[in-house]
Structure 1
Amino acid sequence: MSAATEAFLAMLAAERGAAANTLAAYRRDLAQAEEAVGDLASADRDAVASLAGEWADLAPASVARKASSLRQFFGFAIDEGWRQDDPSGALPAPRSRRPLPKVLGHEAIAALFARAEDEAASGEPKAVRLLALIELLYGSGLRASELVSLPISAVPRDAPFLTVTGKGGATRMVPVGGRALEAVGRWLAVRPQTPPSRYLFPSGKVGHLSRVRLFQLLKALAGRAGLDPAAISPHVLRHAFATHLLEGGADLRVLQTLLGHADISTTQIYTHVDSARLVALVNSRHPLATRATSD
């Protein structure tokens, strides 16, 4: 890769705190573009436009991601004085609709939790652990990776908040409801003490429960609850957390903070499920809603 693209990647790591996977994706996109057109810091507009042909067989979402990587690089190159022009207008701009998230209804959530609570009543540690896991997924909206890697030090002591490290190493405070706190307390009472582990959900000698195992446990629970396992995942419970909060009147900016979204446009996808509530809100709360119309 050219010195310019390496400098851009270094900036992403140092100034934006980009995660390793994010940096790898940028590196891959920029390297492939340079293989096609040469040094991006000096590539002319025609060369940049030729990338449309290189990307012709890719899915619209992939093209959009690659184009975004290059736009950010070109902006950086202009800021650094390496380019006087911005050729990003020559990049293809496919229209790709972001898929709407799968959302569990309230009845499905109730069935899932009823089954988990019945199983945890036995006191069997794995069943108690599973109840704590789903309470945190649905009750706090954690990502699967955030949940399984929670250190035991993150468990609230004096305040009902978890300290969560999310994407890019960003830390946020996440509220924990009474049900989740109770479930976590039950888990701590039966959590294995040997070998010692710094993780809330330990596995093996030094590690923590894996994301793959969390998926497996959740899908198995769904089957036992009479639900379609294909419709259940940790991310679906996170979506349900967001959707049901929005239905209950949560502010979109608050939801953005709770979910750990860097950009509110990511959070706005949840508004698709709430159009009826928003219409009712306008009709009931708008200053003119209660005024009689004149003949």
Structure 2
Amino acid sequence: MAMSDQDKAARAEGALMAAAAPDVARAARAWLDRLAHERRLSPKTREAYARDLSLVLLRLKDHLGAPPRLGDLAALRPADVRAVLAARRADGVAPRTLVRLLAAARSFARHLEREGEGKVGALAAVRAPKVGKSLPKPVSVDAARALADPATRAGEDREPWVLARDAAVLALLYGAGLRISEALSLTPVMVAGGADQVTILGKGGKARMVPLIAPVRAAIADYVALCPYALEAEGPLFRGAKGAKLSPRIVQGAVERMRGALGLPASATPHALRHSFATHLLARGGDLRSIQELLGHASLSTTQIYTQVDQAALMAAYRAAHPRA
């Protein structure tokens, strides 16, 4: 059975406690509680923070010869932090991951300073690795429609309700711009009666209203009609083969199979459909502020990256078609 986000977060927090000296473990527990209750971060985000800090502490243990205590953290020099990052880089870790590790350590350090547990000045003195900016990679309109069409997988030896289920999830990603975790969090009562909108609880516990267009509603209705399991009003809408809540990995696997059949690149993932939702709306004249609200982005600058995707697509078409290009 697939682990829930809460179970994964608990496992990552357990690994963090095991990697820390007792006083650091106590402070880390308080830090994670603050992330959950004051900043209202999701279990998935807390899992990432706990995992990243545990990796930093494990490398510090190797570097210092023992699990670091609060006094050891306060006594760190910039050279110690650079040695930890260099060791992770030698393990083949990408610069983006190093940035994330450093961000988790700095967040913990800010908590320590706020609580009067000491100041880890070395973290602020180390510059984060440079990370090249990459644009989202949407798929074409035709490809997005094909991925969300159960007929694309008609040749697969799978039950019709499974094909309808996967198509409904993908329709929500492309037709409503949901994250896969948001789509899988839906319950039957939220879409009862062919509801034309649904309230989604996104990152940071922020609620937003998302419209469900007719093709999305039809895909959900097709799945519900075929699903062999009793769908309790407050239970998970999308079920796995044995009736439990559907795992994101199952949907990712379905897209991987279709990707090969459709000749799509490796960047064609379930999340790419959310990118496609935003990019295609923008190309059709969608308002950037409205797209921000539909996606649930906290900052408009996050949504503005899709304007660069649209410009890049325009220039690619120009170079391919213009006789003087």
Report the TM-score when normalising by structure 1. Answer: 0.75
Q: Given residue 236 of structure 2, which amino acid in structure 1 is its aligned partner?
A: Y
Shift of 1:219: 3.3
Shift of 1:168: 5.2
The 1:278–1:195 alpha-carbon spacing in structure 2 relative to 1, beyond 3 Å, is closer
Shift of 1:180: 0.9
Shift of 1:104: 0.7
Q: Which has the larger radius of gyration?
A: 1
Does residue 220 of the first structure (1) align with residue 243 of the second (2)? no
The 1:148–1:229 alpha-carbon spacing in structure 2 relative to 1, beyond 3 Å, is farther
Does residue 8 of the first structure (1) align with residue 8 of the second (2)? no
Mapped to 1, the partners of 2:309 and 2:265 lie a distance apart of: 22
Does residue 47 of the first structure (1) align with residue 77 of the second (2)? yes
Does residue 131 of the first structure (1) align with residue 167 of the second (2)? yes
The 1:113–1:201 alpha-carbon spacing in structure 2 relative to 1, beyond 3 Å, is closer
Mapped to 2, the partners of 1:40 and 1:250 lie a distance apart of: 51
**Equivalent position of 2:245 in the other structure:** 208
**Equivalent position of 1:93 in the other structure:** 128
Determine what percentage of the aligned residue pairs are the same residue.
36
Note if contact 1:108-1:227 (Cα within 8 Å) is conserved in structure 2: no
Which piece of structure 1 moves more, 108-117 or 94-103? Answer: 108-117
**Equivalent position of 2:309 in the other structure:** 273
Q: Given residue 35 of structure 2, which amino acid in structure 1 is its aligned partner?
A: L
Mapped to 2, the partners of 1:222 and 1:276 lie a distance apart of: 23
Shift of 1:136: 1.2
**Equivalent position of 2:137 in the other structure:** 102
The 1:212–1:29 alpha-carbon spacing in structure 2 relative to 1, beyond 3 Å, is closer
Does residue 241 of the first structure (1) align with residue 277 of the second (2)? yes
Report the TM-score when normalising by structure 2. Answer: 0.69
Note if contact 2:194-2:221 (Cα within 8 Å) is conserved in structure 1: no
Deviations 1:8-62 (A, max 9, x none): 2221122112233432333344343463563457744752442111211423212
The 1:92–1:50 alpha-carbon spacing in structure 2 relative to 1, beyond 3 Å, is farther
The 1:90–1:137 alpha-carbon spacing in structure 2 relative to 1, beyond 3 Å, is same
**Equivalent position of 2:100 in the other structure:** 65
Structure 1 unaligned blocks of 5 or more:
280-295
Shift of 1:169: 4.9
Structure 2 unaligned blocks of 5 or more:
1-19, 316-325
Structure 2 residue matching 1:128: 3-state secondary structure: helix
**Equivalent position of 1:75 in the other structure:** 110
Mapped to 1, the partners of 2:239 and 2:194 lie a distance apart of: 23
